[in-house]
Amino acid sequence: MLTEERRKEIIKILKNNEEPITGTELAKKFKVSRQVIVQDIAVMRAKGYNIIATSNGYMISKLNGKKKNIKTIVCRHEGYSNMEEELKIMVDMGARVLDVIIEHPIYGDIRSTLMIDSRMDLEDFMEKVKNNKAAPLASLTGGEHIHTIEIPNDRAYKKIIKELKEKGYLIKGE
């Protein structure tokens, strides 16, 4: 298979899947190395495809399609258990946690795509964080961070804000 054909197929696969697909899975499918897939993804991004890398693999962002109810919230907490509790509050109210952003004093905004929208996604994410002994991104800013969330409705958003405030995590909601 030629390079361009493979890239077109990768785009088709990513467009037709709601769940992320790992570079390893794509590499096996096309019988190439994972590094070849990483290069393909970089080229396709440069061509304007909105491919995002999550902790579970690649996907095409659907945010350009129908209008979404997107909000940002600023939170502060420390430690893994607080991070898990904060994310649980959001997903339990039907939100999809799109990313986490920190405002670093030297490097500016640092964003990491999360795409967590269920307890199962959250469990997988927390397991990866713990297994890799990865410090939360917010540890660079004293626990302060921003989440972009997609919410099902304003009622859910109000409940998220209320519960985060009660737990002492909320600094500011949009």
Residues 6+ away with beta carbon under 8 Å from 26: 10, 13, 37, 58
Question: Is 104 annotated as belonging to a binding site?
Answer: no
Question: Is 77 annotated as belonging to a binding site?
Answer: yes
Question: Is 163 annotated as belonging to a binding site?
Answer: no
CB 113, CB 99: distance < 8 Å:
yes
CB 124, CB 44: distance < 8 Å:
no
Outline where the chain has alpha helix (H).
3-16, 23-30, 34-46, 80-92, 119-131, 154-167
Question: Is 86 annotated as belonging to a binding site?
Answer: yes
Contacts within 8 Å (CB) and 24+ apart, 36-44: 37/10, 40/3, 40/6, 40/7, 40/10, 41/10, 43/7, 44/7, 44/10, 44/11
Annotated binding-site residues read: 77, 86, 145, 147
Q: Known binding site for Ni(2+): residues?
A: 77, 86, 145, 147
